Structure 1
Amino acid sequence: MNEIQGNKKNEWMIYTGSYAEKTSTGIHLFKLNVKEKKLDLVEKYTGIENPSFLVINKAQTHLYAVSEVEYGMVVSYAINRQSEQIRELNRKSTNGMAPCYVSLSENESCLYISNYGGTVTRIELQEDGTLGEHTTTNEHVGSGVWADRQDAPHAHSIVPVPNSSVVVAADLGTDKIYVYDDKDFANLAKMSTIPGSGPRHFAFHPTLPIMYVIQELSNTIAVFELNDQHIPDSLLGVVTTLPDDYKEENTAADLHISEDGQFLYASNRGHDSIATYKVAESGIPEIIAFTHTEGKGPRNFELIDEEKVLIAANEQSDSLVLFEINKEGIPTFTGNTISLSKPVCVQAIARNQE
C-alpha cells in the first residue's frame, strides 16, 4: 500500500490486475470514494496478457506489471498524476516462465520478480522509471512432498525485508525461503519450512523482528523471527487459516498486517474467507473471526489501513468486493461489489486532493 503524506484522503485510486488475453482488458483503474463506500470504473487497459501482479512506486509515478505467460514479461508504465491513467514505457523478459509476483527494492533502484517456473530475477531501473538492461536471474532447485504441486521449484513471491539489505523469496515447490543480498543478488541463506506447507506470500510486523509467511498447501501461517542480519533463523509458531471444523478443499493465498501491528489478515480460497487475527505482544497471531468474501477464490486483497477498508479480488467468481474494518479489526461487507473478469491483484494509492 502506498500513501501520500498529509491529511486523511477520502478518495483513492485502485489498480487491478487479472488473468486476461492480450487483446482483452487486463488492468483496470477504479476510483474509491470511502465516504460513499463506492467503487467506480475510470479506465481499462489492454495490451498485456495475464497481468497477474502489480506494484507501484512510492512517488506514485510508475506502475510495473508482470505478464504471467510461458515466456514471462514485465511491463513498466508511467502514471499521469493528473488523471491517474497509465501509459506503457517499455517491457522486458523476466528470464523465466509464468512470473507471478513483482516488488520494488527498498531504494526502488530495481525490480524483483518471482517466476513460478522456479527462478527469481532482478532487473535494474533507469532514472526515468523504465526497465534497464542489467538483469540477474537465480535458479531454485529441488522438490517437495506433494507430487502434483511440488514436483519442481515454484517461486511464488519475492520481497525486500523492510529497513534492511535483505530480500526473501518464497518457493512453494521446495518448501524453502531463499534469502538474497539486494546489492549483488547473491544467495545468503535458505530456510526450510514444514514439508508440504507450500510457502507463498510474506508480511512483516511493523515494530517486531518477525516475518509472517502464508503457506498455500497446509493452509497455515508460519511465524519466523528475524536475526540481527534480518534473516529468518527460527520458527516461533504456526497457526491455521481455517476454522477447526472445516474439512473441505482450500488453498491459502494472501496476507497483510495493519500498520500498528495489531491485526493480521489472510485469504482462503475454498472456504472463501478473510481470516482476521489479533496479534499478541509476542507477535504470535490468534484467530478471532472469519469473513466471507461474498465470492469465490479470493486470490489477493488490499488493506487500506488508513481508511479502514479492505478490497478482495475474487478470481473464481469475477468480482471485486469492498469491506469496512470495524472497531474490532474485523472486515464487514459494505454491500459494494464490482463485476470484474478474473481479478487477481489489487493496488491502491491515495488521490491528492489539494
Structure 2
Amino acid sequence: MGDTRRTRAFIGSFTSAGGRGVLAAEVDQDTGALSVTGASDAVADPSFLALALDGPRDVLYAVSETDAGAAAAFDVTGPAPRLLGAPVPVGASGPTHLAVAGGHVLTANYGSGSVTSLPRTADGSLGAATGLVRHEGSGPVTDRQAAPHAHQVLPDPSGRWVLAVDLGTDSVAVSALDPATGALRPHGATPLRPGTGPRHLAFHPDGRHAYVLNELEPTLTVCRWDAQDGVLEPLGETPVVPEGGVGPSYPSEVVVDPGGRFLWAAVRGDDTLAVLALYETGENARLVASVPCGGHWPRDLALAPSGHHLYAANERSGDVTWFTLDPETGLPTRTGSLPAPAASCVVFG
C-alpha cells in the first residue's frame, strides 16, 4: 500500500439483506479507522471470507451462503475486489464458513451438515470440489438440531488436521486432508454437552488448547488439543454472559489474544462483547467483563494484525465497530464505526 502504518480489511455482507457484497478498506493502524476503497457484489451473500497471501497475487475467498451453495475467489491486489472466474458449487447448501488449508479451500456447509474441499489453481481461482464429508447425528434442541449443521471449518495449527464445528450434532469432527488430492478422511469426533450448539472454535497460541464457543447456550468449552493424535478433549465450560442476564443470548464468534492472556466473544441478543481472562496454562477461562458491541447483532469478531484493535461486524444495525484494547486488562473501548449494511464478517491482511 506504500504506507507502513496501513493495512487492509475486507468485510463480507448479505446482499439479500441490502449488503454491498465484499467491501475492501484501508486500516489506519494507529486509530483503527476503516476507509472503504471499493466493493463487489458479484457474488450473492458472501457472508464469510478468508484471505490467502501465499501466491503470486493476494486472493480473497468467499462463501456464497445460498441454498445452491458456492465459493468464489477475488483478486484483491487493487482497491476493489475483482472476481476470479465463476463461483464454484460446493455440492451442499448454505456454506457459512471457509478456510484456506494449503492448496485447498474448505467450506463448512450449514444447510447440508458437511465439509467440502476445493483446489486452489495457479492463478488463485477455485477448481471443482475434490472432497466432501457429511456429518451424521442430531441434538436435543429439536428446532435447531434436527440434523447436522456444520458451522465452521479450520485447519489446526500443526497443519495435520481439519476441525469442523457442528452445531446440530453438538460435536467437533476431525478429518485429515490429503494435500495432493483434496480428499477428506474422517478421523474422529468429539462430543460436547448435548444442547450447547457449538458454533466456532479458536486455538490458543500454544497450539495445545482450543476454545469452543457455543450458540445455543452462552458458554465457552475449554479443550485440550493433541496434534499428534488429532484428539480434542473437553476440560470444562465457563459462561460468556454475566449471571442473571435476561437473554436470550446467541454467541457467535471467539477470538484469542496472540499473547494467550485474553479471549473475546461476540454475543448476539445481548449485543455485547465478552472479555475472558485465560490462565497461564490455557486450561481455564474466567469472564471478567461484558461491554456493549456498539451496534445490534454482532455476527463476527476480528482482531487487527497489530493486536491493538478489535472489530465487531454488527449485522442488524449495519455497521462495523472498532475498539481499542487495553493491553493490561484486555478491556475494549469503542473508538469508531463504519456503515456496512448487513455486515457479517471482517478479515485482515
Alignment TM-score, normalising by the size of structure 2: 0.92
Please give the alpha-carbon distance, in whole angstroms, between the structure 2 residues aligned to 1:23 and 1:302. Answer: 22
**SS across alignment from 1:16:** strand
Please give the alpha-carbon distance, in whole angstroms, between the structure 1 residues aligned to 2:159 and 2:128. Answer: 25
Q: Identity over aligned residues, as a percent?
A: 29
Aligned pair in 2 of structure 1 residues 33, 140: CA closer, same or farther (>3 Å)?
A: same
Q: CA deviation at 1:168?
A: 0.5
Please give the alpha-carbon distance, in whole angstroms, between the structure 1 residues aligned to 2:213 and 2:185. Answer: 24
Matched, 1:28 2:23: yes
**SS across alignment from 1:149:** coil
Q: CA deviation at 1:85?
A: 2.8
Q: Which sections of structure 1, spanning at least 5 residues, go unmatched?
A: 350-354
Q: Which residue identity lines up with residue 61 of structure 1 in the other structure?
A: D
Q: Which runs of 4+ in 1 moved over 3 A?
A: 21-24
Please give the alpha-carbon distance, in whole angstroms, between the structure 1 residues aligned to 2:275 and 2:19. Answer: 35
- Once the two structures are superposed, residues 199-224 of structure 1 have per-residue CA deviations (whole angstroms, 9 ceiling, x without a partner) of 11111111151111111111111111
Please give the alpha-carbon distance, in whole angstroms, between the structure 2 residues aligned to 1:228 and 1:125. Answer: 25
Aligned pair in 2 of structure 1 residues 24, 193: CA closer, same or farther (>3 Å)?
A: closer
Q: How does 1:1-354 map to 2 (within 5 A)?
A: 9-21=4-16, 25-59=20-54, 61-80=58-77, 83-90=78-85, 91-105=87-101, 108-117=102-111, 118-183=113-178, 184-229=183-228, 231-283=230-282, 284-327=284-327, 328-334=329-335, 336-349=336-349
Q: Which residue identity lines up with residue 291 of structure 2 in the other structure?
A: T
Please give the alpha-carbon distance, in whole angstroms, between the structure 1 residues aligned to 2:31 and 2:73. Answer: 32
Q: Which sections of structure 2, spanning at least 5 residues, go unmatched?
A: none
Q: Which residue identity lines up with residue 253 of structure 1 in the other structure?
A: S
- Once the two structures are superposed, residues 63-120 of structure 1 have per-residue CA deviations (whole angstroms, 9 ceiling, x without a partner) of 000000001010111121xx34321112210110010001011xx2001101112111
Please give the alpha-carbon distance, in whole angstroms, between the structure 2 residues aligned to 1:294 and 1:127. Answer: 41
Please give the alpha-carbon distance, in whole angstroms, between the structure 2 residues aligned to 1:135 and 1:209. Answer: 30
Please give the alpha-carbon distance, in whole angstroms, between the structure 1 residues aligned to 2:137 and 2:119. Answer: 28
Aligned pair in 2 of structure 1 residues 24, 308: CA closer, same or farther (>3 Å)?
A: closer
Whether the 8 Å contact between 1:203 and 1:257 is mirrored in structure 2 is: yes
Please give the alpha-carbon distance, in whole angstroms, between the structure 2 residues aligned to 1:104 and 1:30. Answer: 21
Please give the alpha-carbon distance, in whole angstroms, between the structure 1 residues aligned to 2:227 and 2:251. Answer: 30
State the aligned residue count. Answer: 338
**SS across alignment from 1:254:** strand
Q: Which residue identity lines up with residue 93 of structure 1 in the other structure?
A: P
Please give the alpha-carbon distance, in whole angstroms, between the structure 1 residues aligned to 2:189 and 2:33. Answer: 44
Please give the alpha-carbon distance, in whole angstroms, between the structure 1 residues aligned to 2:291 and 2:299. Answer: 15
**SS across alignment from 1:21:** helix
Q: Which residue identity lines up with residue 190 of structure 1 in the other structure?
A: A
Q: Which residue identity lines up with residue 22 of structure 2 in the other structure?
A: I
- Once the two structures are superposed, residues 28-52 of structure 1 have per-residue CA deviations (whole angstroms, 9 ceiling, x without a partner) of 1122213344222211211211100
Alpha-carbon RMSD: 1.9
Whether the 8 Å contact between 1:27 and 1:46 is mirrored in structure 2 is: yes
Whether the 8 Å contact between 2:89 and 2:128 is mirrored in structure 1 is: no
Aligned pair in 2 of structure 1 residues 89, 228: CA closer, same or farther (>3 Å)?
A: closer
Q: CA deviation at 1:305?
A: 4.9
Whether the 8 Å contact between 2:99 and 2:105 is mirrored in structure 1 is: yes
Please give the alpha-carbon distance, in whole angstroms, between the structure 1 residues aligned to 2:312 and 2:248. Answer: 20
- Once the two structures are superposed, residues 178-197 of structure 1 have per-residue CA deviations (whole angstroms, 9 ceiling, x without a partner) of 10002131100011010001
Please give the alpha-carbon distance, in whole angstroms, between the structure 2 residues aligned to 1:178 and 1:316. Answer: 31
Alignment TM-score, normalising by the size of structure 1: 0.91
**SS across alignment from 2:216:** coil
